[in-house]
Amino acid sequence: MRGVTAPVMTPEATLQYMLDKAQRKLGTPLRRGFVQGGTRHDPKPGPLAEFVRNRDETGLDLYLLAKTLATKEPYRVIYSAGWWARALRLNDDTLISRAWKRLEDRHLISRTRDGRVVVVTLLRDDGSGQPYERPALKGESYGKLPLAYWRDGYFLRGQLDLAAKATLLIALSQHGAFTLPAERAKQWYGVSADTIEKGFATLRERNIITRMKDWRINRYSRGGLAATNVYRLRAPFASSKEVELRVVS
């Protein structure tokens, strides 16, 4: 019929359908290599640094969602650009194809086509270009991005900006309480001190992370002790084991 507009799913319904279809029960595993490569003694920035350096929040959101949805071998997802754009609250479908190109250039995904729809296959999240394998199967260190990140709208730009998202991903790669001197952020993770400080401030404001002072021996300090910031994620971003430990203690 003329003059009749076809109905369109809401952004909320679109994202809910995609998450339900994926049937992911637990959080999305993210290799430590995504945020930090190298070794403990010689750390190097991981692929996350390039998202921050290029202010590519759309690419990061799209990549994290694709990782969340690709739950089984061959770790592949198939949706039209309109689905991805609507789920991420983007008003331009062309932003999706451009973002896929950037992710492909960073060796995080590969693309093929099923007719007019792009088929996205994950590659290893360390940017090596190797086929994706679950880090748990390889005994590698990893963190988990909980489904609450999507279901509770933390991904929305009015909630967390790029600095906060990058800082959250770095925090998720830690285990329990951790320290992260802002002056080491560039060397360890490829992000500036200003970015990490801004990210921590937003996460604290959103009640996602806590900060406490810990006094430690410092031979350069006149008094012999120096204050260090100690951070700890809160639920739903803290691991279930960490939450249990804090409740018991």
Residue 184 lies in a domain: yes
Nearest to 168 by CA among 135, 134, 194, 202: 202
65 contact partners, CB below 8 Å, separation of at least 6? 18, 84, 87, 88, 150, 155
Q: How far apart are the first and last CA of the chain?
A: 66
The CA distance from 32 to 46, in Å, is 8
What values do phi and psi take at 111, rounded to 5? -125, 140
Give the pLDDT mean for 25-33.
93
Tell me the CA distances in angstroms from 205 to 26, 198, 200, 201, one per residue in order: 26, 11, 8, 6
Give the pLDDT mean for 216-231.
69
Write out pLDDT tens, residues 71-105. 999 999 999 999 999 999 999 999 999 999 999 99
Give the pLDDT mean for 241-245.
43
Residue 235 pLDDT greater than 90, yes or no: yes
Residue 59 lies in a domain: yes
Residue 226 pLDDT greater than 50, yes or no: yes
Give the pLDDT mean for 28-42.
91
Write out pLDDT tens, residues 158-169. 899 999 999 999
The CA distance from 95 to 72, in Å, is 26
Q: 62-66, 137-141, 149-153, 207-211: lowest mean pLDDT where?
A: 137-141
Residue 6 lies in a domain: no
Q: Is the dihedral of CA 66, 70, 76, 78 positive or negative?
A: negative
Residue 211 lies in a domain: yes
**What letter would DSSP give residue 91?**
S
Domain that holds residue 226: 11-248
Residue 100 lies in a domain: yes
Give the pLDDT mean for 29-48.
92
Give the pLDDT mean for 201-224.
80
Residue 66 lies in a domain: yes
Residue 143 lies in a domain: yes
Could you tell me the pLDDT band of residue 249, with boundaries at 50, 70 and 90? very low
The CA distance from 78 to 117, in Å, is 7
- 89 three-state secondary structure: coil
Nearest to 236 by CA among 179, 177, 168, 180: 168
Nearest to 174 by CA among 237, 217, 111: 237
Residue 69 pLDDT greater than 70, yes or no: yes
Instruction: Evaluate the omega torsion of the peptide bond into residue 74 and state whether it is cis, within 30 degrees of 0.
Output: yes
Cβ–Cβ < 8 Å for 205, 197: no
The CA distance from 147 to 69, in Å, is 11
Six token digits for residue 53: 């350096």
Q: 18-22, 83-87, 210-214: lowest mean pLDDT where?
A: 210-214
Write out pLDDT tens, residues 104-143. 999 999 999 988 899 999 999 999 999 999 998 778 889 9
Residue 190 lies in a domain: yes
Q: Is the dihedral of CA 63, 69, 72, 76 positive or negative?
A: negative
Interior angle at CA 120, CA 127 and CA 73, nearest 5:
85
Q: 38-42, 65-69, 133-137, 202-206: lowest mean pLDDT where?
A: 38-42
Could you tell me the pLDDT band of residue 30, with boundaries at 50, 70 and 90? very high
Task: Record the pTM.
Answer: 0.89
Give the pLDDT mean for 41-59.
95
User: What is the residue-averaged pLDDT of the chain?
Assistant: 90
* Residue 86 or residue 219, greater confidence: 86
Q: Structurally, how many domains does the chain consist of?
A: 1
